[in-house]
Amino acid sequence: MVMDVRTSFDDRPNPPYIPENVDGKWRGPLRLRTALALSENIPAIKVTQYAGVKNTLATAHRMGITTLTNEQRYGLSITLGGGEVKLLDMTFAYAIFANGGFLAGTPRAAEEIKPGYRELDPVSILKIVDANGNIVEEYREPEHREVIKPPLAYLISSMLSDNQARFEVIGDALNLPSRRPAAAKTGTTTDWRDNWTVGYTPELVVGVWVGNANNDEMIKSYGSTAAAPIWRQVMEEAYKQVAPFQDIPPHGFAEPPGLERAEVCAVSGLKATPYCPHKVTEVFVQGTVPTETCNVHQPFKIDKTNGKLATPYTPPQDIEERVFEIYPPEAADWLQEAQIPQPPSAYSERGAPGVAGVGSGDVGLVSPTAFSYVRGIVPIIGNARSQNFKLYKLEFGQGLGPTSWMQIGPEHHNQVSNGWLENWDTTGFNGVYTLQLSVVAHSGHWQQARLPVTVDNISPTVKITYPITKEVFYYDKDNPDKLRIQAEATDNAAMGRVEFYLDGQALMTSTVPPYNMLWPIVMTTTVTDTKIIVTETHTIYAIAYDAAGNQQKSEEVMIQVATEPPKPPKKSGWLWREELMVWLDRRDWTWG
């Protein structure tokens, strides 16, 4: 399982790399099979991070890619098209999967072979015959080099041919009408300049590139909508009209030795437990079947009368077991947006010694809860009851084991059941403190309850790190862009959340770093004259809240959104120069 959630990748000394998925959506937990089929960007980058960019490039070179030679230039974006490759190279590389892990071709000239790169080339000329019918040269049999292990090649083919896994995003775009099993992958580069589809059957590999010959942007042209139909038709027609494919019946990819199957949780990909609601049978390279049981679907015992965690004191008839999905901290924002229920953090106080009970005298603190963050004036809620009751008092001390105590308010001579005990003024205090409730009976008998809390009266710090003041962004109504707004927020104790605002209106809340969001750039002004540039000014700021509720507003950042400037005329000669000067004069190069 890999988490498809908003992620910041360290790219020092550059700013953090925070990519998006093509559709701007997050899908949360995905098994690699599903992530690959859906072309999700974040899982692809995370897998590249696991493997390492250097190892990724080395594998690409062994599989036939002759570009990407400057290793220092490439980072994690290499997996999203951060480097240029040749259509022939990419198609040749995919043939390795179709060939069960083997590169097939003709030997390269010795002077062309570089260490770590492919040793074979694809063959384009099969036979040369002179005017008299004599065969000058004929290519008969390819040489083979094992590049990846056959079981691994089969795994890739199994994933890339999974129609069910890819249906959500691209539907039947890669399904051949003849229902012949085929493995394929689509791709679309930024700004719609290129889109690809490369795919194969056991006999045939076809690569398709779609784009403008002058490298102009296309209008929202995806690999699945432009290149895939071409790939699909070429594949179908080849099997109808081209020998020797015509007589080959549809069949799947040959399964080599060294594979095994096992039932796993459909979410975590780990060994399924009775708590996993959906299970799938997955194929593995022998020896890699997961032995760890699913850690996503976890059971919790809940006091069904109040929805809190049950304790040993909770009556057995009031306990029920509920299964919750537990994900790593990086998924916090996604969990909130997807409204995935999470287990309660508070324990049920029913029947516990020192906490409110039914028909019995108890001493306990209910609010704040243990180790919670508090600030300012803190109402203390609890229970102060006993037989032969005389008084109760509240105190606090520094640390988890205070050596001295300070009293909060006066002594109280009234009993309290799950109600207000005192207000604690924490002004000027910061750090871990322990609350102590003491109940005294007329007999002199004492009962006490203690509760540790973290006092935090220091506001967090926050600033907008991107965009910067006076930056101008262009609006294209035919292809609107998105602006990444990012804030840096820290706290002395623990952060809570960061809220983003545009022109005073709340945009989004982020609960985990990196605190950022995407704003679809819009223009509220109706523009009819395309020859002029219209600008709008916007104010961006963020408000940070720490776990205790302290808040801090960032300085405001003012940006401008402008209509796209008219493109310069594509002419030659001195007339072009004059018109270029007119075009430059139309642009407002100053702020405001």
**pLDDT (0 to 100) of residue 575:** 43
**φ and ψ at residue 511, rounded to 5 degrees:** -105, -10
Q: Residues near 96 by Cβ (< 8 Å), separated by ≥ 6?
A: 63, 64, 102, 103, 147, 148, 153
Q: Quote the radius of gyration of the chain (alpha carbons, Å).
A: 33
CA distance 25 to 222: 17
Please say whether the beta carbons of 19 and 4 come within 8 A: no
Instruction: State how beta strands 143-146 and 431-441 pair.
Output: unpaired
Q: Say which DSSP state 101 is in.
A: S
pLDDT at residue 576, rounded to an integer: 47
Q: If we measure between CA atoms, which residue out of 408, 436, 401 comes closest to residue 422?
A: 408
Structure tokens at 376: 């300012």
Phi and psi angles of residue 496, each rounded to the nearest 5 degrees, phi first? -105, -65
| 523 vs 534: CA distance, rounded Å | 9
Q: Could you write out the DSSP letters of every residue in 450-488?
A: EEEEEE--PPPEEEEEES-TT-EEEE-TTS--EEEEEEE
Closest CA to 60 of 39, 43, 30, 82: 82
- Cα distances (angstroms) measured from residue 486 to each of 336, 408, 542: 19, 43, 9
Letter string b/e over residues 87-109, b meaning 16 or more CB atoms within 10 A of that residue's CB: eebbbbbbbbbbbbbbbbbeeee
Q: Given this model, what pLDDT does residue 349 score? A: 66
Q: Can you give the pLDDT at residue 355?
A: 41
Give CA–CA dist 167/2, Å, rounded: 20
Enumerate domains of the chain plus CATH numbers: 1-82 (no CATH), 151-252 (no CATH), 258-294 (no CATH), 297-338 (no CATH), 363-455 (2.60.40.10), 461-586 (2.60.40.10)
Residue type for position 495: M
Cβ atoms of 499 and 506 closer than 8 Å? yes
CA 346 – CA 277 distance, rounded (Å): 26
- pLDDT beneath 70: ranges in the chain: 11-15, 349-361, 527-531, 565-592
pLDDT at 438: 95
Q: What is the pLDDT of residue 60?
A: 96
Asked whether the whole model's pTM tops 0.95, one would answer no
The pairing of strands 495-502 and 557-563 is: unpaired
SS (H, E, C) 296-337: CEEEEEEECCCCEECCCCCCHHHEEEEEEECCCHHHHHHHHH
Q: What strands lie across the sheet with 297-303, from one edge to the other?
A: 308-309, 297-303, 319-325
Query: Would you state the pLDDT for residue 530?
Result: 61
Which of 412, 369, 376 has its CA nearest to residue 394? Answer: 412
Tell me how long the chain is.
Answer: 592
Give 106-156 pLDDT, tens digit per residue: 999 999 899 999 999 999 999 999 999 999 999 999 999 999 999 999 999
Phi, psi at 152, each rounded to 5°: -70, -40
Q: How far apart are CA 124 and CA 560, in angstroms?
A: 54
What is the model's pLDDT at position 192?
82
pLDDT, position 361 = 45
Long-range contacts of 330-336 (CB under 8 A, 24+ apart): 330/3, 330/5, 330/7, 330/512, 331/3, 331/5, 331/28, 331/29, 332/511, 332/512, 333/5, 333/6, 333/510, 333/511, 333/512, 334/3, 334/5, 334/6, 334/26, 334/28, 336/509, 336/511
HEC assignment per residue over 205-268? EEEEEECCCCCCCCCCCCHHHHHHHHHHHHHHHHHHHCCCCCCCCCCCCCCCCCEEEEEEECCC
pLDDT of residue 533: 77
**pLDDT tens across 513-525, in order?**
878 888 888 888 7
Neighbour-count burial of 115, counting CB atoms closer than 10 A to its CB (0-12 exposed, 13-18 middle, 19+ buried): exposed
